[in-house]
Amino acid sequence: MSLNSKYHYFNNYNQPLLILLPVLLLLLLALTIDQSQQYCAKFGRHLLQHQCVLTPESSEGPFYLPYHLTRRDVREDREGLPFVLKLTVTDVNTCEPLNNVTVDIWQADASGEYSGYVRASPSGGGHSPPSDNATFLRGIQMTDQNGQAEFMTIFPGWYDPRTTHIHLQTHLAGRTLHTGQLYFPDKMVARIGRYYPYNNTKYVRMNNAEDWLFKRFNGQDSMIQRFKPLRGRRLANGLVGEIIVGLDPNMDSKEALHGRG
């Protein structure tokens, strides 16, 4: 048999295998993707962050107050773009939802002011004693059996020298598990900044990359990425933002300086 004949013999003999191999690989890939999508879809992980990944902590900041204000709507009299914050809290060890977790949020209003500190200029550093009895944009919710908690608030304003953020703290069985800050895409903040009352603030808006806490504590991993309109299609009607917060219930927060016990 000539070399050319051997080549044709080998090629003809293996031709079915050469055709079948890509088909088998495609079937295996499709099966893997389908299983992964079914698993991730349980908590919307194909749209949000991984529920098995620990959410990084961040500084508690100077304006935390241990008010036990159990309420979904934290707006009180504050003007601003309506914003529904939806959180899903998960156990990174099991990838399952964590229920009965106390979720504590506090944030600045559209003018960059925190309740309790209306007569005090926002600044960095350690904890500051309150200057007034205001309680706007502070509240607590408990996670349900699906690990979910929801707040009706406004899109936060900004102040010098910080980028736009919402403070977050979680508590379970008398322990503070996590202290963090949630961030927003720069383009979205810039767009909302053209609306009243955000366009009436005295503070210059800072981008995420310019914020030292965002950089120090991997703020990119605490970014709210999933948004949808609150009503209709107009941004002025408000937004809904969703994020998964992955926690280790066996760990205590390292950034909770004055957090709730």
Instruction: Write the DSSP assignment of 27-67 as a string of letters.
Output: HHHHHHHHHHHHHHTTTTTTTS--TTSPPPP----S-----
Q: How confident is the model at residue 3 (pLDDT cuts 50, 70, 90)?
A: very low
Measuring CA to CA, which residue among 199, 69, 87, 186 is closest to residue 137?
A: 69
- Share above pLDDT 70 across residues of the chain, in percent, rounded to a whole number: 77
How much is the average pLDDT of 90-116?
95
pLDDT at 154: 98
Distance CA 180, CA 71 (A): 20
Specify the higher pLDDT residue, 177 or 9: 177
The three-point CA angle 136-139-142 to 5° equals: 165
- pLDDT for residue 12 is more than 70: no
pLDDT at 120: 73
pLDDT at 63: 92
- Share above pLDDT 90 across residues of the chain, in percent, rounded to a whole number: 66
Measuring CA to CA, which residue among 118, 117, 152 is closest to residue 241?
A: 152
Q: How confident is the model at residue 128 (pLDDT cuts 50, 70, 90)?
A: confident
Q: How confident is the model at residue 27 (pLDDT cuts 50, 70, 90)?
A: low
Distance CA 246, CA 54 (A): 5
